[in-house]
Each structure stands twice: as C-alpha cells, then as structure tokens.
Structure 1
C-alpha cells in the first residue's frame, strides 16, 4: 500500500506534513482508523486521524494552529490550511464507567498497544508515512473477507462501550459485511447494557444506517438482535415489524438528499409507528421538535389519504379530489408536497425490483399523477389567502364575532380551494350574505 488513491490531494499533502513534523521531532506517528480502513476498501476518505507518541503539550508546541479538543484523552486538533487533523497520543484505557467512557487514560509508547484499545479489527490498522501497515489484529484480512470482528474479546469491547453493538450493526449495514459469530453472540448477551448509552449517540448511529446504501439490512439486523428494545427509550416496533413491512424501507437510499423528516417518516412508518405516536417517539429520541412534528404530519397525512383512497370506490373521483384538498388544507402545502416526493421516490425505487407487482406500480403511478395535478390546482392554502377577512364578514352580516365566524371562514376556504367559489371579494361577500339569510330564515 504505497499510494493513497481515495484522499483529496490537498488533505493528503497537509496530513503528510503533520506526520513529517512529528517524525522529524523524534516522535512516532501514523495515520490510523477510518482513513486507513476506507482506503483499503476503495471508499472516499473524508478525514485523516493521526496517532503519535508525542504528548498533547508537545503537539501544541510543534504546530502553529491547534485546538485542545480533548486533552484529557490526549487529543489535539491541528489545523493545516484550515483542514483539521485529530492528533491523539498513543494510549490505553482503564475500566469504563457505565459502559460508556473510560474512567481514565494512560499514555503509552507503542502503536500496537494503542490499536489494541480500538473497537473493530478494520479500525485497528495504522499506516506509516511510507505506506507500511501495522495490522496486529488482521483487520485487512477481515476487510477482504467482509466481516465485522472485535479487537480481542467482543464481550470486553461491548462491556467497555455498549454503543459498539450498534456500531457493529452500522458497519455491517453500510459496508455489506457479516458480523462474526463470536461478535453476534456477545451482542445478544450484552444488549441490555445499551440502556446506559445516551440517546443522542444511538440516534447518530441509526441515522448513519438510514443514510447508508442498504438500510434494510441494518434494520433487519436490529430487528433480529432486538437491540433497540434495550435503549433508554425503547423502539419496540423495530423488534416486531414483519419483514414484508421493512421491505418498504428499501426506498431510504433514494431519500438521502431529501429532508430528514421525509426519511424518518418512512422509517417510522415501516417500523409500524403511527402518526399519533411519531412526534413523541422522535422527541424522546432527541430529534429537534420541528423535525419530529413534520415527520408526524407526513405519516398522519399518509394514513388519512390511504383511508380516503380506500373509500373512493364508494365515494367516486369528485369526492376523492375534495378529500385531497381538505387534507392539503388541514396538514399544509409543505406536508402534502413532501408526501408526494416520498411517494415518487418510493415508486422509482420499486421499478428496479424484479419481484415488484408491475400492474400495481403502474396503477400507483397513475394515481400519483392525479394527486400531483390536484396539488397544483389548489388556489388557496390559508385563510390569509382569501380575498376577504373576518371583519368584512362581520360588517356584511351585522353580527357579533364568535365561533361561528371561524367555522364560516374555514368553510369558505375549502369552497375556494375546491374552486366552487372564485377568490374575489364581492362574490365571497355575497355568499356570506346568502349563508346569513339562510340561517336566519
């Protein structure tokens, strides 16, 4: 392994300058972890971490621009042309507290002892400046074999940091690797320790699964292991969701560029979480409130629209169109548009599936065209879009305000949205007069 092929040339040049400076000062230094792993796998390298025998103070003295990122753990961020490099002193870790973090770290002199503390063999490989690998746990062979294996005993690695169990699933999902039997047995045996891990950390790993190339594999591994049942906020649906429903999640890679609420609405629905439960569940999982509410609205919209579609054989196309308009008004234009985008991406993902029901997909495609047309035809969305205001209604009706006013304005909004009334002041006020007269007679 002599030349880097997956690294941006500027990043590589600056990273090698960091290594050279450390070596010329009499220290040992290596590229380590994800950058070495990804290079071996032919995957793009996004950052380059460095391990060194130099103590943090020596690193900070050696380089002009540094950030004391985590001095207690031996980590200093070195900035080279505004490119950050995490430089960490060789270390070993003492007993872990609450299966989350080491109680203390001890700096050591050798790279092998530093690699020994890492989670998986694929991440325990170091590369010297001249391209030689230090691979005491045969991580390169495991990468070629497509397996996820812990460094040393899996039970000990999971005892140290329980999040590593979710990370194992993430790596298996993203890389298409297979957890070795010893890892899987240790994961099942130790999964109750996941309750010690902060939800933010679990959510971050789950997001990487969702955004990966094969989220269905990741979710199936989570279902089989029942890991998420043991989180501080359990997601029990992931343990019981039938495989047929999880298969809908095959669309998730197609949603990578879409807003987060769209992806999470599909994931939660695939796991069987209802619209009424979704917002509370997501907030417990530390998602921002705005994303939780938006995802819940998409699910609620889908549930209501599926119900309307199911009844359309009895009600007919005109009533179905009215139902769409009512839902678009109720949930908002943004939610309706996100639902349409989600449906479009799902249909696109199914056309490459040989097992898909082609006639049914064609029917759904025609339905989506119809729904898109209705979406674009709605002329007003909010009360403020109307050509009249509540005060105008009070003047022509010569009545006092009350709940009736709000109900009438909403009714008028639906009539205008359905194009049964023009959005013009005089016709709308004439309609108000007719309603008032009818109610008084």
Structure 2
C-alpha cells in the first residue's frame, strides 16, 4: 500500500528521513501517526524509527537533544519542529511488568516492530508513502480489529499497561478486541496492580473520551481490569450502569469523566475526595468534581438555589449538564443553564462592595463578622433582594451589622 497524499506533518518531517537514508541507513515513520493517517484521523506526534544508532543520528544533524539516549531516542531540532528519532531495538527481562531490564540496538526493522503492542500500531511508513506491514495490521485496520503482535501474553508481560491500552483503543477507534488478545487480558488482568496509578489514569481517561466509550467500558468490566483499579473492586454492578450511556455521548474532558464515574458509583461530594485521591488526580480536578457532585445532590433533593449555581460556576455546570445528558437523567438541563445565565453576578469579585469598603467606613472590624456580612450581601444579590450597587450594598451592610 502506498499513501499518495501524505499529511503536512509527514511532509514537514520528510527531510529528516531523507537525511538519514542518504547516509546509508533506514528510516521510517512509525506508530499511531501511521495508523491514524490510514484511518483518515487527525495525527499528533510524529515518531521516527531508524537503523542508525544514536551516535550516528547525532552526527547527521547539527541540533539534537539526548531525550532518551539510554533507550535509543534522540530529539532532532529542525526549525521550530522537534522530532524524536529512535534506533531499532529489542527489549528483554521485564521484571516489573513495565520496563525492560535490557535494551539492545539492532539494524532490523522486523525485530523492532515485533516488540510493539498491537498490529495496527506496528506499521511503518517510508518517506515516499509506502506502508510496511509485517504483521497484517492493514487487514486488522480494515476489519476494525485490535490484535496483539505475536503472543499477547508476552506483550502484556512486557508492559501490563498494554491491557488498558487495548480497551482504550477499542473505545478510541471503535474496534473489537480479537478473541485471543481479549482472553489473554482476562487471564493476566491482575498484572495491572504492578502498574503506577498515574499511568492507568491516563489510559482510563482516554478510554472514556473515545468515540465509543460504552465499548471500552464493556471490555473494562468483562476482562476484569476494573477490579485492579483504585477502589473499583466489587463495583461491577455500578459500573454496568455506564453501559446504558446515550449512544452519541462524547465526553470531552477529565471533569466530565470523573463526574460521570462518581455519579455512577453514587459517591457523595465528601466521599469523592478520597476516591479521586486514590486515583491521584489533581487537586483542581477534585475541586471541580466536588462542586459538580454538590450540584447533583441539590438536584436530587430539589434544592437547586442561585447560590448553588453560583458556587458551581459556568465551566463545571456545563460539564455537569453534559453528564446528566449522557445518562439521560430526567433533568431540565437547559433550564438550569438559563438560571445560571440569569444570575446578576457570576464571580464574587463582581460584588460592588468588598471588605476594604466595610473597614474603611467602619461598618465592622476585621474578623469573622466581616466575612459573614459579605456572604450575606452576596446571597442577597444572587437572590435579587438587593441590587448590586455600592450605595444599596452599603445600606444593607449597615443594617446587617447593626443586628449583630
């Protein structure tokens, strides 16, 4: 197969391959960018593999950085672009089910591609657009099949995260996992415990944001991988609710992913904190999910106030509404968004009176009372009891202060 019209990303990087080939070595585009080009998907990182050893690559280009020299990777700086070029290699001795104990540089493309995870990712592309397919990856692309290269047990023992990558690609590409590969995942799911949570997190989020998350979730449950993820053991029934997501659902960010998961697990805002900490998510994400779950609790209780909407904020509110739509919840999300847009202020800084104003006019003194007055003023503005004008807020502040 030959790709007649290469994407601009490959055309820009083509001189790198030509320079290496002109020096007598082999060089190819490899990995996901080749797969996605064939599928007419958007490509991201352009990776290059070569028969030239790192020292030989560095000798060919004036500007390089040793980004992963131990594993054969050299970054070539070309104008404003950066390209990672990795020497063909073999790997052995995966004692931690993640990293090879030994890396050996080789001159053979076949040996290099044999160590890759799935056939659709083991394609190489020459600079003229010719596709090199040594493991029937093109046929698997055509059939929408995800198949491990060689023996799947070996691939998963080399890096147990590949099992999560399998279900991530099943969701991202809307592919089916080939039976032998799926069986191997089921038999070796417990190896996922050997993998750092941070790495699992990335694959899980990408799976949930794929074009067919329900397919990914199905494999996640059916293979048993879920049981080796933080605090999900014994949660197959709750996770199964995600199989009923609206077929057109597309989660677009991490907040939506974790709001949806916490909602399915029926976690309160309070309990979500320890759950998300176990997954090692960021404090910023934890705060966003916490706000979204507080909104869900208010919706469940029929107590959604202007204050709740204000505290939720536009970004989290939008994500929360997307989650409710994804699970087809009987909630008028348009009405909630309209109520938010109708708020007189959407940020506490928009309040026309601040603590300094109160202190300057000696309405109160520094301390808890100051905060209580400002909180009351904010709530009164949100509920329409007081207009957001400095004069009216000062009068109201004096009234509140006189009562306490």
- Residue 157 of structure 1 corresponds to 155
Give yes or no for contact 1:151–1:157 (8 Å, CA) kept in 2. yes
2:202 aligns with one of 201, 204, 214: 204
Matches of 1:82 and 1:401, distance apart in 2: 54
Matches of 2:367 and 2:107, distance apart in 1: 79
Matches of 1:71 and 1:199, distance apart in 2: 26
- Residue 325 of structure 1 corresponds to 306
Answering whether residue 346 of structure 2 is matched by residue 368 of structure 1, we say no
Matched pairs, number? 401
- Residue 302 of structure 1 corresponds to 296
Greater relative CO (CA pairs within 8 A, separation 6+): 2
Aligned pairs for 1:282-431 within 5 A: 282-308=276-302, 323-328=304-309, 332=311, 335-342=312-319, 344-345=321-322, 364-365=331-332, 368-369=334-335, 372-373=338-339, 375-379=341-345, 382=348, 385=351, 387=353, 407=372, 410-422=375-387, 424-425=392-393, 427-428=395-396, 431=399
2:238 aligns with one of 231, 236, 241: 241
Aligned pairs for 1:42-121 within 5 A: 42-121=40-119
Tell me how far 1:269 sits from its aligned partner: 1.9
Instruction: Identify if the C-alpha distance between structure 1 residues 390 and 432 changes in structure 2 by more than 3 Å, giving closer, same or farther.
Output: farther
Instruction: Identify if the C-alpha distance between structure 1 residues 91 and 308 changes in structure 2 by more than 3 Å, giving closer, same or farther.
Output: same
Mark the runs of 5 or more structure 2 residues left unpaired by the alignment: none
1:12 aligns with one of 1, 5, 10: 10
1:177 aligns with one of 175, 178, 192: 175
Instruction: Identify if the C-alpha distance between structure 1 residues 21 and 91 changes in structure 2 by more than 3 Å, giving closer, same or farther.
Output: same
Instruction: Identify if the C-alpha distance between structure 1 residues 173 and 434 changes in structure 2 by more than 3 Å, giving closer, same or farther.
Output: same
Q: Secondary structure at the match of 1:96?
A: coil
Tell me how far 1:57 sits from its aligned partner: 0.3
- Residue 218 of structure 2 corresponds to 220
- Residue 133 of structure 2 corresponds to 135
- 1:246-277 Cα offsets, whole Å, 9 max, x none, are 43475752x42xx6434432343234433222
Tell me how far 1:196 sits from its aligned partner: 1.2
Q: TM-score, normalised by structure 1?
A: 0.80
Relative to its length, the structure with more helix (as a share) is 1
- 1:368-390 Cα offsets, whole Å, 9 max, x none, are 32662365234586499364859
The two structures, once aligned, show a CA RMSD in angstroms of: 3.2
Instruction: Identify if the C-alpha distance between structure 1 residues 373 and 44 changes in structure 2 by more than 3 Å, giving closer, same or farther.
Output: closer
Q: TM-score, normalised by structure 2?
A: 0.86
Tell me how far 1:33 sits from its aligned partner: 1.8
Answering whether residue 279 of structure 2 is matched by residue 279 of structure 1, we say no
Give yes or no for contact 1:123–1:139 (8 Å, CA) kept in 2. yes
Matches of 2:132 and 2:362, distance apart in 1: 85
- 1:93-114 Cα offsets, whole Å, 9 max, x none, are 0111310100011111211111
Mark the runs of 5 or more structure 1 residues left unpaired by the alignment: 310-322, 351-355, 437-441
Instruction: Identify if the C-alpha distance between structure 1 residues 47 and 17 changes in structure 2 by more than 3 Å, giving closer, same or farther.
Output: same
